[in-house]
Amino acid sequence: MSASLRADPVGIRLERISASFLDRSRGMVTAVRDIDLEVRPGELMTLLGPSGCGKTTTLRMVAGFQEPSGGTIFIGPHDVTRTPANQRDIGFVFQNYALFPHLTIFGNVAYGLEVRHWSTDETRNAVHEVLELVGLGGFGGRLPNELSGGQQQRVALARAIVIRPRVLLFDEPLSNLDAKLRVSMRAELRNLQQVLHITSIYVTHDQEEAMAISDRIAVMENGRIAQLDTAEMLYRRPASAFVAGFLGRANLLRVTVEHVENGLASLDLGGQKLVARLDSTIGVGSAASVIVRPESISMGPPNGGLTGVVQTRTYLGEKIEYEVALAGQTLHVVRFDPAEDEGFAPGSPVSLIVPEAKLRLLGADAGVATGSQLDTAGPGP
Amino acid sequence: MRTSSSGGAGDGPRRLVVIVLWLLLGLFVLYPLGALIARALSDDNGFTLAPLIAAIDSRNNLRAFTNSLLLATLVGVCGTAVGFLFAFTAERTQASRLWVKILDNATLLPLISPPFTTSIAFVFSFGPRGFITHDLLGMNNASVYGLASTLAAETLTYFPLAYLALRPMLAAIGGNIEEMAFSLGGSRWRVFRTVTLPLTIPGLANAFLLLFAASLADFATPLILAGNDLPVLPTEAYLQITGMFDLKGGAILSLFLLVPAGFVYFLQRYVVERRRFVTVTGKGGAGMSSQGTAPFVGNALLMICLAVVAFILYLYALLVVASLVLAFGANYTFTLAHYHVIFTDGLPAIEDTLLIALIGMPIGGLYGVIVGYLVARTRFFGRQVMEVVTMLNYALPGTVVGIAYLLAFNQRPFLLTGTAAIIVACYVFRYSPTGIRTTVALLQQIDRSIEEASFSLGATSFTTFRRIMLPLILPAFFAGLSVVFIRSMTAISATIFLVSINWTLITVRILENMTELSLGPAAAFSVFVILTVIVVTTLLNLGLRRMMAPGLEIQVLRR
């Protein structure tokens, strides 16, 4: 299938890239601080983070729309830091599609080929092939404003891939679509990227989208990469409270390390005891925090051990969410597929069981400022 | 995003264009203004304020100054009131689409006519041999000249500007806010008084200033209608120069004109614009706002508007009749003699005017698009200064510009007096700012990512401009063309100082005819100009509609 669109993928490497610029109201702003990033050939790497974290700026520097104030960008073996965008051989998919409003769908997709001086026949064949590929065969004669949002985004995608770029860059391509379409489009995008085997960087603030689509995710915070890993590892072993909170929901509890033995740490939580696995060294007696996902906590009638008091109970059909007061902190607990008679009413004491493998122990500096409970920054509007 | 995009190579040509533009602006905007001020404030011994102080002391000048301000204020108030009446009727009553369309088209008429069409028609209607004064009322010595008729003629000529400015404003305020007020229990009158009116005040102020400036700069109407008892600055400056060959006196008087004009421009740009409560997007609010008036009030308002419209149509009908009868007011025998005159005797003026308009049109259109693109989409040293300078000749009263050009290009090294070039240059730099603004407005609707998309697909910045940006801003080019053409056909206040034996203009011939009391040819010329403008702008509009990329909106402001 569309072998003609397939080429050997190349990697992308950013070395100590930074971006600062003068803003009229805020003075000197640094959007990206000394980022190192390596995207493997054929990989889809997502830059995930809240708005203002520098993800889009990073992407635009890779595209060549913006020049880094420091550092080097490699696409394949070539240093492209000073190469203008039109010579970088990239495909860019914009958030607002950025279709040329005065050209037909065919004209839009053919544009990049015409610029490359392809023959009329070659152009026509390639455009038809790629329009078929994105499911828009027969739409060539229409104008962009005659298409729905989802169709327009497919055209934007077709336009970007028809030139067989070495690199595909996506700037929140699905955020203008409605929720249902977003889900189906992201599957298509992923499928297409796999088929074409093009090295891609994908920017989004939607953690679910990032998890669904990426080989690896770089979570960005304040112009830096907070953690780079696969979705699974990021979720299971977040390096900081920020990462834990950005991918899914997480409880952050302040604890004190009592003693360490056999790779396990005993923790004091306001007089109650907790045990967590330890994979870095941590000083006995020091303050620390633990992260635990709401769905990792089991809850039962009081029977000693970790005990809290239910404060609120929210029934949501497939799950029930509880807020439990525990040693002066609040713990969120989610119970899926709840039993019919399950009813820990507010005010009732409960026993909490947290498997030690599901507890993630962080040093105190790794995010105490963020507070004791982290909700996901989650998908935007 | 915030930083400039470095899409492709090609800063060289752009820098060249910027330099050429600055040279042209220096020559045709800054240098004439400098020459004007220098002439007014110097004598053989260099800088001096003596002539200026003497001029301020002169009773006559002072009278012209106060008359100008008085007239402009009255026109501002009356024109804004009529404009608001029309806008309110169109937006807030149950008037059907057909009536609104009639209002629209009738208000368009004064905008595309030579500025003194109304004045001429006034003479036909109320003059010594006027249709109403003489034929209907049987008066023999009716005087049409004076403040009242000048005020009425200017109000009718300029209120469409207020209408065009106020209607989108009212639409943008939208019915929702008013419905909210109704839902809180306000009566219609109370809602109008406490909600609609306060929200419109910035718009009203803006319209007032627009009309104030237009009246202040109006030369033709007072020249025809003001008479001896109402000297105003533009006519006085003109008489100083053409009657007494006193260039310095004219320069000083135009400085007088410069002060209130500059003040109004400043107010408009920096005070009123910032006080706007609503941003006008061009799209109306949720349309249902016809509850704003009771039916009988709406009908009454519509009747008043239609009366005004009927009066305007009556004036234009008089003009047509006058062009087709032997002697208006005396002998109503049908004749084509006047048209024969303008196509024989008057042919040179017609040819010159059309030639100048046709040369100025593409130059002005191109200049508008280029400046608009540079101002809106690129960054270079002095960009904002350039934006202000390009607006200068547009904002200054025509008399000031005309006298400045006369002074600046009367001698070497820039001896242009008597050529067509000086008239073309005057039109291009005075009337292209509309094209510039339209280009900027269009570009603001075109996201920067469109250009980046083109770069990302491998196009150079030149290809991007040619294949993407140019087609998208072509409508602005056409809008620029149409405004430059209209103005080239109808303007007079600046160019009356620039015509010569070699190059004359229809508008100047009309004024000459009026002073020689050959009213028939004047009427025929006016009808010819109006028809030409209607035909050409209709063609341009058709072309524009075909070329407009879907989804973009354009608003051509005619002044």
Q: What is the pLDDT at residue B445?
A: 78
- Identify the closest residue of chain B to A156 by CA–CA distance: B453
Highest mean pLDDT among A127-131, B204-208, B439-443: A127-131
Q: Could you give the CA distance from residue B515 to residue B122 in angstroms, rounded to a whole number?
A: 15
A25-81 pLDDT, tens digit per residue, is 777 888 999 999 999 999 999 999 998 899 999 999 999 998 999 999 999 999 999
Q: Do residue A100 and residue B450 have CB atoms under 8 angstroms apart? A: yes
Q: Could you give the CA distance from residue B281 to residue B200 in angstroms, rounded to a whole number?
A: 15
Residue A344 — φ and ψ, nearest 5°?
-85, 100
Higher-pLDDT residue of A144 and B411 is A144
**CB contacts, 8 Å: A23 with chain B:** 2
- Looking at residues B465-487, what average pLDDT do you find? 86
Return the residue matching tokens 């027969």. A138
A362 three-state secondary structure:
strand
Q: What is the pLDDT at residue B392?
A: 85
Asked if residues B85 and B293 have their Cβ atoms less than 8 Å apart, the reply is no
Higher-pLDDT residue of B349 and B284 is B349
Q: How confident is the model at residue B493 (pLDDT cuts 50, 70, 90)?
A: confident
Q: Could you give the CA distance from residue A88 to residue B307 in angstroms, rounded to a whole number?
A: 66
Q: What is the pLDDT at residue B11?
A: 58
Q: What is the pLDDT at residue A345?
A: 86
**CB contacts, 8 Å: A56 with chain B:** 1
**CB contacts, 8 Å: B2 with chain A:** 21, 23
Asked if residues B417 and B500 have their Cβ atoms less than 8 Å apart, the reply is yes
Which of A189-193, A342-346, B79-83 is predicted least confidently?
A342-346
Q: Do residue B2 and residue A163 have CB atoms under 8 angstroms apart? A: no
Q: Do residue A94 and residue B452 have CB atoms under 8 angstroms apart? A: yes
- Looking at residues B393-398, what average pLDDT do you find? 86
Q: How confident is the model at residue B176 (pLDDT cuts 50, 70, 90)?
A: low
pTM, entire model = 0.75
Q: Do residue B457 and residue A56 have CB atoms under 8 angstroms apart? A: no
Mean pLDDT of chain A: 87
Asked if residues A64 and A84 have their Cβ atoms less than 8 Å apart, the reply is yes
A281-291 pLDDT, tens digit per residue, is 777 778 888 89
Q: What is the pLDDT at residue B10?
A: 47
Is B174's pLDDT higher than 70?
A: no
Which of A23-27, A91-95, B459-463 is predicted least confidently?
A23-27
- Looking at residues B225-254, what average pLDDT do you find? 84
How much is the CA Rg of chain A, to the nearest whole Å? 25
B508/chain A closest Cα distance in angstroms:
43
B294/chain A closest Cα distance in angstroms:
40
Chain A residues at the B interface, defined by Cβ less than 8 Å, are 21, 23, 56-57, 60, 63-67, 84-92, 94-96, 98-102, 111-112, 115-116, 143, 145, 156, 159-160, 163, 169
Q: Which of A60, A98, A112 sits opposite B458 (nearest CB)?
A: A112
- Identify the closest residue of chain A to B447 by CA–CA distance: A98
Which value does ipTM take for this structure?
0.82
Q: Do residue B3 and residue A100 have CB atoms under 8 angstroms apart? A: no
Peptide bond into B413 cis (omega under 30): yes
Mean pLDDT of chain B: 82
Q: Is B555 on the interface with A (CB under 8 A)?
A: no
Q: Which of residues 446-465 of B touch A (CB under 8 A)?
A: 446-447, 449-450, 452-461, 463
Asked if residues B494 and B401 have their Cβ atoms less than 8 Å apart, the reply is yes
Q: What is the pLDDT at residue B287?
A: 44
Quickly count: other Cβ atoms within 10 Å of residue B469's Cβ: 20
Q: How confident is the model at residue A173 (pLDDT cuts 50, 70, 90)?
A: very high
Q: Do residue A159 and residue B472 have CB atoms under 8 angstroms apart? A: no
Is B492's pLDDT higher than 90?
A: no
Asked if residues B449 and A94 have their Cβ atoms less than 8 Å apart, the reply is yes
Asked if residues B426 and B402 have their Cβ atoms less than 8 Å apart, the reply is yes
**CB contacts, 8 Å: A111 with chain B:** 454, 457, 459, 467
Q: Could you give the CA distance from residue B17 to residue B15 in angstroms, rounded to a whole number?
A: 5
Q: What is the pLDDT at residue B177?
A: 66
Q: Do residue B456 and residue A66 have CB atoms under 8 angstroms apart? A: no
Quickly count: other Cβ atoms within 10 Å of residue B172's Cβ: 20
Secondary structure letter of residue A304 according to DSSP: S
Is B7's pLDDT higher than 50?
A: no
Q: How confident is the model at residue B517 (pLDDT cuts 50, 70, 90)?
A: confident
Q: Do residue B7 and residue A84 have CB atoms under 8 angstroms apart? A: yes
Is B280's pLDDT higher than 60?
A: no
- Looking at residues B154-158, what average pLDDT do you find? 92
- Identify the closest residue of chain B to A96 by CA–CA distance: B449
**CB contacts, 8 Å: B446 with chain A:** 101
Is B335's pLDDT higher than 60?
A: yes
Q: Do residue B3 and residue A116 have CB atoms under 8 angstroms apart? A: no
Q: What is the pLDDT at residue B228?
A: 79
Q: What is the pLDDT at residue B379?
A: 78
- Looking at residues B494-498, what average pLDDT do you find? 86
